[in-house]
Structure 1
Amino acid sequence: MSWKHLFSKALSADPDRLHFAAHSHHLWPDASFEGHMKACEDAMHLADHKWDKIMGPVWAEAQRHVASELKLPDAQTVAFAPNTHDFLVRIVSAIPTRPVRVLTTDGEFHSFRRQMERWAEDGTVVVDAVAADSLIDKAQSGSYDLIFASHVLFNSGKVISALDRLAALSRPEGPWTVIDGYHGFMALDTDLSDVADRLFYMAGGYKYAMAGEGVCFLHAPPGFAPRPTVTGWYAAFEDLALSPGKVGYAPDGRRFLGSTFDPSGLYRFNAVQAMLAEAGLTTDKISDHIAELQRHFLNDSPLSGMRLLNPIDGNPHARFLAFQSANAARLHQALAERKVVTDVRGDVLRIGFGLYHDIEDVDRLSEILRGSQCTRLSA
């Protein structure tokens, strides 16, 4: 079945483009445009009073969508920010010890890795980066303040499935376990109901939530990190019991808020969620559609000369296929010259599949890959 009609604006904007980077910048569905326009209308009509609506029903609706997707017992544990990096900085700021002892994988996203390297330079952190397969054993044997791992590793597509074992190590006094769910949220059916009281989880709308940038979120377990040092006035709450000069914090996820932000992402997120509900599209249903496309692509074997880092083996799978080759960057460029959008990280070419693809798109991609130049680079 084709769901292209939900993306008519993005697809008609460049009809010749084959966009196989849904894992990077997911094409926006038409509903996101409608949500964005609603944000503009509210800003124009309500002016200063728009914040009553944004921090009221718009915020609460977005919280409910996140909580429903992740099976969180309490939507109030969810806070929103322009990006997940904001949340990382605030979480680390709440850890009282210095240097902060961090355990992570060697496959984390650039932003996290860069920040850790810079903090390591000035003595804020000491980082122990290990292979994902050894993360649990290392966490159990070591002494850490922060355990940080991606649910789905952005480079290889490997899925870390033992979230319950990581959560079992987490305590209010430390260590804290943080899961970067950006490549898992709305790509894998994720149930945090049994670990929500011990696990931080953050993700955003740029990828599989199809809502664009500026709408990231954090689930913060109650009792963990009650007073981040890096904070903004949106994290404040009125408490007459506080002594003069005492900095107050909201008792729920809002304690991780900063200051004034662009709220349009919340509108887009809510509009896309409404679209999915109306179409009867759950994460599982979308995953089934994408799994069919991935199998069809692999059965055609257009990249048989490259190493597939995340084979389809019946377990939960990333929304992209990661192919390793010394020619990955050159193949990426050759595809770009044919108006095929993919993504390359070092020697790994990533091909991401989205709801806006159908079998005909996959066949077009395979045909292009079988062209003389692409065949030579993928051999």
Structure 2
Amino acid sequence: MTARKDLFSRALSLSPGRLHFAAHSHHLWPDATFDAQVRAWTEANAFADRKWDLIFGEVIPQAQAHVAKELSLPSPDSIIFAPNTHELLLRVVSGIEGKPVRILSTDAEFHSFRRQGQRWEEAGEAVITHVPLHPFDTFETRFVEAAQSGDFDLVFISQVFFRTGQVFNRLEDLAALARPEGPWVVVDGYHGFMATPTDLSAVADRIFYISGGYKYAMSGEGVCFLHAPDGFCPRPTITGWFAEFGDLAGPPGGVGYRTDGGRFWGATFDASALYRFNAVRTVLDEAGLGTAEIAAHARSLMLTFQTAIADGRAGKLGEAGLLNPVEGEGPRARYLAFRSPKAAEWKARLMDGDVITDVRDNVIRFGFGLYQDEADVERLIAACAERL
């Protein structure tokens, strides 16, 4: 397939000379999201006091259906939305009754978990076992063995690790350990959702999956979601008033909860992000662009860039260690991650030339998407050769 710059004409026109190779960090928004934002404003004022009937009657069910289709979930009713994944993490963990909470995770999780986990430990509310991500060739075996041998309340792991782009491929082994009484398995899918085809049909009844629209769903902030398996965490302690609408269960006179994924609903939120997400999914469907097609396009561009680096055409970038090379046809991140002590300096040098990348610690990342073509990659190669 070819690039679809036409779907991003508004965003691209705002900075015509820019090379935006940070689609994994802040993805540019398609034109359809502008119209969706206007629609959200218009309907909020047209419906006024009846706005939430529209949102829960039409907007949310449409968004749930899109997520369920993307992940091959058996029912959209297992999905709820929140402004960020941190809120969702807090609600899930709040449902674990024993303290301190015994958690198995890694030393490579995103900051929403890393920081909160560290604070929980300081407060004596959690004990976290961190399995080192590296060496990665033994990581999956080490992590699964730790999960099998440990006595944990919660297992938390990324589908795709945010800093390095490396992929965890053994969700079924973790799901086999999950029980309503514990452990619960929570997967951070932020760098997997709509980045690489993801089929959760075999594990949906046993794992939690958290993700959002800021990156590959191209919808911006505020549209994060949780898939919650039936029977797991029926009564989260941190709860919002939206969770008390629907088919409720609970002790007589006590706090009632919905019996589907809606038990994790919070409270009032800005629904405009859901409009944007629905618009993106609709325009992609109309264009015949699924995640597999977009990922294949990105893979082709990454391979061009990777080959140029190996051939010495991209300056000193060839001195860096490529952490997640394009190999085979399996699931992968939509970016290339290079480790170097010069990562931050390189990012700054490229930024001075209006080439946008991003850095995590000593890793510089180049993200690829629908609004880039081979000519853009050649310009990127030339910029690296000139500036690094």
Give the letter for the 2:236 counterpart. P
Q: Which moved more, 1:237-246 or 1:73-82?
A: 237-246
Residue 295 to residue 230, structure 1, CA distance change in 2 (3 Å): same
Question: Which residue, out of 328, 348, 358, partners 2:343?
Answer: 328
Any conservation in 1 of the 2:247–2:258 contact (CA below 8 Å)? Answer: no
Residue 232 to residue 297, structure 1, CA distance change in 2 (3 Å): same
In the other structure, the counterpart of 1:360 is 375
Determine if the alignment matches structure 1 residue 319 to structure 2 residue 331.
no
Residue 247 to residue 336, structure 1, CA distance change in 2 (3 Å): same
List gaps (5 residues or longer) in structure 2.
134-138
Determine if the alignment matches structure 1 residue 310 to structure 2 residue 318.
no
Q: Where do residues 223-242 of structure 1 align in structure 2 (5 Å cutoff)?
A: 223-237=231-245
Distance in 1, Cα, partners of 2:245 & 2:38:
31
SS in 1 for 2:336: strand
Any conservation in 1 of the 2:306–2:325 contact (CA below 8 Å)? Answer: no
In the other structure, the counterpart of 2:84 is 83
How many angstroms does 1:237 deviate by? Answer: 2.9
How many angstroms does 1:242 deviate by? Answer: 6.1
Residue 262 to residue 22, structure 1, CA distance change in 2 (3 Å): same
Distance in 2, Cα, partners of 1:14 & 1:197:
45
How many angstroms does 1:244 deviate by? Answer: 5.8
In the other structure, the counterpart of 1:249 is 257
Question: Which residue, out of 339, 346, 356, partners 2:361?
Answer: 346
Any conservation in 2 of the 1:297–1:362 contact (CA below 8 Å)? Answer: yes
In the other structure, the counterpart of 1:117 is 118
In the other structure, the counterpart of 1:164 is 172
Distance in 1, Cα, partners of 2:192 & 2:262:
23
Any conservation in 1 of the 2:248–2:257 contact (CA below 8 Å)? Answer: no
Give the letter for the 1:12 counterpart. S
How many angstroms does 1:239 deviate by? Answer: 6.4
SS in 1 for 2:364: strand
Any conservation in 1 of the 2:323–2:338 contact (CA below 8 Å)? Answer: yes
In the other structure, the counterpart of 1:377 is none
SS in 1 for 2:168: coil
How many angstroms does 1:2 deviate by? Answer: 2.1
Q: Where do residues 1-379 of structure 1 align in structure 2 (5 Å cutoff)?
A: 1-132=2-133, 133=139, 134-237=142-245, 245-301=253-309, 302=314, 303-314=317-328, 315-371=330-386, 373-374=387-388
Distance in 2, Cα, partners of 1:215 & 1:240:
25
Residue 242 to residue 186, structure 1, CA distance change in 2 (3 Å): closer
Give the letter for the 1:47 counterpart. A
How many angstroms does 1:232 deviate by? Answer: 0.8
Distance in 1, Cα, partners of 2:178 & 2:348:
44
Cα deviation 1:111-133 (Å, max 9, x = unaligned) = 21000000000011001111241
Cα deviation 1:172-211 (Å, max 9, x = unaligned) = 0000000000000001111111111001001000000011
Distance in 1, Cα, partners of 2:254 & 2:286:
47
Residue 240 to residue 323, structure 1, CA distance change in 2 (3 Å): closer
Q: Which moved more, 1:123-132 or 1:212-221?
A: 123-132
Any conservation in 1 of the 2:243–2:265 contact (CA below 8 Å)? Answer: yes
Distance in 2, Cα, partners of 1:192 & 1:240:
27
How many angstroms does 1:137 deviate by? Answer: 1.0
Give the letter for the 2:239 counterpart. T
Any conservation in 2 of the 1:237–1:248 contact (CA below 8 Å)? Answer: no
Residue 244 to residue 170, structure 1, CA distance change in 2 (3 Å): closer
Distance in 1, Cα, partners of 2:275 & 2:370:
20
In the alignment of these two chains, the number of paired residues is 373
Distance in 1, Cα, partners of 2:118 & 2:22:
28
Any conservation in 2 of the 1:238–1:248 contact (CA below 8 Å)? Answer: no
Cα deviation 1:304-340 (Å, max 9, x = unaligned) = 1110000111122100100000000000111111111
Any conservation in 2 of the 1:20–1:352 contact (CA below 8 Å)? Answer: yes
SS in 1 for 2:156: strand
Distance in 1, Cα, partners of 2:247 & 2:281:
35
Any conservation in 1 of the 2:243–2:263 contact (CA below 8 Å)? Answer: yes
Give the letter for the 2:42 counterpart. E
Cα deviation 1:210-264 (Å, max 9, x = unaligned) = 1111000000000000000001101113668866641011111111111100000
SS in 2 for 1:285: helix
Any conservation in 1 of the 2:163–2:337 contact (CA below 8 Å)? Answer: yes
The TM-score with structure 1 as length reference comes to 0.97
How many angstroms does 1:135 deviate by? Answer: 1.0
Cα deviation 1:150-169 (Å, max 9, x = unaligned) = 00000010100111111111
Distance in 1, Cα, partners of 2:91 & 2:215:
23
Distance in 2, Cα, partners of 1:114 & 1:296:
37
Give the letter for the 2:45 counterpart. M
Using the aligned pairs only, state the percent identity: 57
